[in-house]
């Protein structure tokens, strides 16, 4: 396998990736809380996770990818106070919690389709893993890791050695004063079970009281159920470092004595006007918001590649439009190569030029394996395009397409093996080309108009023609 270097938040350093089992990778991503529409901030995180998964697949690993969906237990303070985000939304919309969850979950996965993000192998809903979560709380109580307060059962963080191993704070059991409850033994202690007895939806009876699970518990229960006590990679946004992932590590340590995953990877925030884009602040865009401006959903994927994944990225429509133009140029380039291939234009193969192509693949490889350096990887893609354009009729188009498809295993732009322009339009182009050759210009121009009416653009020279979908 190729050497892959990743920035591990656990240890805060670049480390070579070594899987637990040879040729296999088990990875877990914290999924959405489905109480509102998915926005492009979330999608930055899921595109990053998708790129990592694609790199591993391209390298030949068999990958098992599990993602949770939070439909219960995430309170609106993001800690242990306030109302359940889904319950609150269900009251607002006058719908059942399940209907609210299903509606926004569907919207979330629609974003995956629009962005060509590979579906997880397993999607695990918190509300469908209550039995597993109850069992863990029972074990915490039995082993003395959980204690009871008026509003629920709390996890005693002082019982876990190295509680703050993921966080930068010294190991003094105080991460931050995120909960007001004065009765807690340690400020960082968090709820694993909250009491609730409204006779409503999403409450469960247990031997330790009726209620619902704490937010962090679901990821421990579901990651360990599907990936085992120890797996390779755990991912999420940077906001998960100090609380959610810290608490997941503590819970699993209480169960097994070990850190549950070897590599903890975090993607940076997408900010807008200096603030984190978030559902609760309402300062967000959805992918579908750009449709009217003719911006392709996949251009957001391109946009994300402009930033190192762990760093904060600032969003602007202008930059997204620039990404959209660049992606459309790439599609036009892809189409051009298909035309050169399909029209059987004579190629005067130059060995040196063909050999040089390999160096672009090597460079691309180096970049993506260097902690997913996508800004540099995209530079390589453009250098490749420039080089091909300069040597267009000296390189076998099939070779160029093979390389584009290989890059696309990581990029996910949807390049294709066959010409993306429909056969009907290609035939029109062929007719015009031969009419022009026979100097029947009037007829040739009427066909050109037909092609343009259908929204395509012709690019012609003496040797060949190309029909593009996009202005470029």
Interface map 191-230 toward Zn ion (x if CB under 5 A): ----------------------------x-----------
| Residue 240 binds to ligand AMP (criterion: CB under 6 A) | yes
Minimum Å distance from CB 155 to ligand AMP? 20
d(CA 268, CA 284): 16
Toward ligand AMP, which CB reaches closer, 35 or 339? 35
* Interface with ligand AMP (CB under 6 A), residue from 4, 27, 45, 67: 45
In the complex, least distance from residue 54 CB atom to Zn ion, rounded to whole angstroms: 22
b (16+ CB within 10 A) / e for 221-255:
bbbbebbeeebbbbbbbbbbbbbbbbbbbbbbbbb
Per CB under 6 A, does 111 bind ligand AMP?
Answer: no
Nearest to 419 by CA among 348, 332, 297, 361: 332
Q: Output the smallest distance, CB 455 to ligand AMP, in A.
A: 34
**Would you tell me how many other CB atoms lie within 10 Å of the CB of residue 32?**
25
Query: What does each C-alpha distance from 464 to 336, 342, 399, 454 come to in angstroms?
Result: 9, 10, 19, 21
CB of 266 to ligand AMP, least distance (A): 8
The closest alpha carbon to 41, from 294, 282, 322, 319, belongs to 282
Q: 118 — phi, psi (to 5°)?
A: -65, 140
Shortest distance in whole angstroms from residue 145 CB to ligand AMP: 25
CA 382-301-387 angle, to 5 degrees, is: 10
Residues 16-35 interacting with Zn ion (rule: CB under 5 A): 30
Q: Among 8, 9, 33, 164, which residue interacts with ligand AMP (rule: CB under 6 A)?
A: 33
For position 32 contacting ligand AMP by CB under 6 A, the verdict is: yes
- Distance in Å, CB of 280 to ligand AMP, minimum: 8
Q: At 247, phi and psi to the nearest 5?
A: -75, -35
CB hemisphere CA count around 18 (13 angstroms): 2
* Cβ-closest position to ligand AMP: 237
Cβ closest to Zn ion, residue 68 vs residue 299: 68
219: partner contacted, choices Zn ion, ligand AMP, none (Cβ within 5-8 A by kind): Zn ion
Q: Do residues 113 and 60 lie in contact, with contact meaning Cβ atoms separated by under 8 Å?
A: no
Strand order in the sheet with 231-237: 122-125, 62-69, 24-29, 231-237, 261-267
Q: Minimum CB separation from ligand AMP for residue 225, in Å?
A: 20
CB of 361 vs ligand AMP, minimal distance in Å: 31
| Segment lying near ligand AMP (by CB under 6 A), choices 42-50, 98-106, 179-187, 204-212 | 42-50
Chosen residue from 19, 120, 152, 236 binding ligand AMP by CB under 6 A: 236
Which 8-state DSSP code applies to residue 457? E
The span from the CA of 160 to the CA of 120, in Å, is 31
- Specify the stretch interacting with ligand AMP by CB under 6 A; choose among 91-99, 192-200, 234-242, 396-404: 234-242
Site residues, ligand AMP (CB under 6 A): 30, 32-33, 41-42, 44-45, 236-237, 239-240, 269-270, 276-278
Where along the sequence are the contacts to Zn ion (CB under 5 A)? 30, 219
């Amino acid at each position: 396998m190729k050497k892959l270097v990743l920035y591990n938040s656990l240890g805060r350093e670049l480390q070579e990736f070594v899987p637990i089992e040879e040729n296999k990778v088990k990875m877990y991503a914290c999924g959405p809380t489905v109480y509102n529409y998915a926005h492009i901030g979330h999608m930055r995180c899921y595109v990053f996770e998708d790129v990592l998964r694609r790199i591993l697949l391209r390298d030949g690993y068999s990958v098992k990818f599990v993602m949770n969906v939070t439909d219960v237990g995430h309170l609106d303070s993001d800690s242990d106070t306030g109302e359940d985000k889904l319950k609150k939304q269900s009251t607002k919309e006058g719908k059942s919690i399940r209907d609210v969850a299903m509606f926004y979950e569907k919207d979330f996965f629609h974003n995956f389709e629009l962005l060509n993000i590979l579906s997880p192998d397993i999607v695990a809903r918190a509300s469908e893993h209550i039995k597993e979560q109850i069992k863990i709380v029972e074990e915490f109580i039995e082993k003395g890791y959980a204690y009871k307060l008026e509003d629920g059962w709390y996890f005693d963080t002082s019982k876990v050695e190295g509680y703050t191993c993921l966080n930068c704070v010294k190991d003094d059991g105080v991460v931050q004063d995120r909960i007001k409850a004065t009765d807690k033994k340690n400020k960082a202690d968090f709820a694993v079970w909250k009491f609730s007895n409204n006779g409503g939806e999403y409450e469960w009876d247990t031997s330790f009281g009726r209620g619902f699970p704490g937010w962090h518990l679901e990821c421990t229960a579901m990651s360990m159920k599907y990936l085992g006590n120890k797996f390779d990679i755990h991912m999420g946004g940077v906001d998960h470092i100090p609380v959610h992932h810290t608490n997941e590590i503590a819970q699993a340590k209480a169960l097994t004595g070990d850190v549950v995953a070897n590599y903890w990877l975090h993607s940076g925030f997408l900010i807008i006007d200096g603030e984190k884009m978030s559902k609760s602040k309402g300062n967000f865009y959805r992918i579908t918001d750009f449709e009217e401006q003719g911006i392709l959903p996949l251009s957001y994927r391109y946009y994300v590649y402009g930033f190192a994944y762990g760093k904060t990225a600032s969003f602007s429509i202008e930059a997204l439009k620039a990404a959209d133009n660049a992606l459309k140029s790439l599609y036009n380039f892809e189409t051009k190569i298909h035309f050169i291939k399909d029209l059987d234009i004579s190629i005067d193969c130059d060995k040196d030029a063909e050999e040089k192509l390999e160096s672009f693949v090597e460079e691309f490889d180096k970049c993506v394996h260097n902690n997913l350096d996508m800004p540099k990887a995209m530079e390589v893609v453009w250098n490749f395009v420039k080089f091909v354009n300069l040597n267009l009729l000296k390189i076998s188009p099939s070779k160029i397409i093979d390389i584009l498809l290989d890059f696309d295993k990581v990029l996910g732009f949807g390049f294709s093996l066959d010409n993306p322009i429909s056969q009907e339009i290609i035939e029109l182009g062929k007719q015009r080309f031969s009419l022009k050759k026979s100097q029947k210009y009037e007829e040739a121009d009427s066909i050109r108009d037909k092609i343009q009416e259908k929204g395509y653009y012709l690019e012609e020279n003496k040797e060949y023609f190309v029909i593009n979908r996009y202005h470029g």
